[in-house]
Amino acid sequence: AQSVTQPDIHITVSEGASLELRCNYSYGATPYLFWYVQSPGQGLQLLLKYFSGDTLVQGIKGFEAEFKRSQSSFNLRKPSVHWSDAAEYFCAVGASTDSWGKLQFGAGTQVVVTP
């Protein structure tokens, strides 16, 4: 069965500093990988996705993620964090063999941005 692990429950970063959020997955076949962001009281917004091809993917709001098959990782990065990036971030994996489009979500990483 597929699984997703986000090792960091909580990260504090200064505004203007770089941010990296870790995501590790466990899945035997080709995974489809996603990062979502959730602001307080809101639903989840898709930041970026990886299906195939270039392992460095660009997303919205200046985020990027790199797929590393050898490490079973899909880490999210942003070079310079803005106060508006404070939110909870979720990594999700989908199975290429699942035609119903179900996703497995990680537990989330809460990001706090300090002045």
Partner 1 sequence: ETGVTQTPRHLVMGMTNKKSLKCEQHLGHNAMYWYKQSAKKPLELMFVYNFKEQTENNSVPSRFSPECPNSSHLFLHLHTLQPEDSALYLCASSQGRDSFPYEQYFGPGTRLTVT
Report if residue 45 touches partner 1, rule: CB under 8 A: yes
Binding-residue pattern over the window 96 to 115 for partner 1, x denoting contact by CB under 8 A = ---xxxxx-xxxx-------
Distance CA 107, CA 36 (A): 12
Report if residue 46 touches partner 1, rule: CB under 8 A: yes
Residue whose CB is less far from partner 1, 13 or 103: 103
Residues 22/72, Cβ–Cβ less than 8 Å: no
Counting residues that bind partner 1 (by CB under 8 A) gives 22
The helix (H) or strand (E) run that includes residue 54 is: none
Give the CA radius of gyration of the chain.
Answer: 14
Report if residue 40 touches partner 1, rule: CB under 8 A: no
Residues 81/16, Cβ–Cβ less than 8 Å: yes
Residue whose CB is less far from partner 1, 70 or 99: 99
Please identify which residue in 1, 29, 43, 54 interacts with partner 1, judged by CB under 8 A: 43
Classified as helix, coil or strand, 95 is: strand
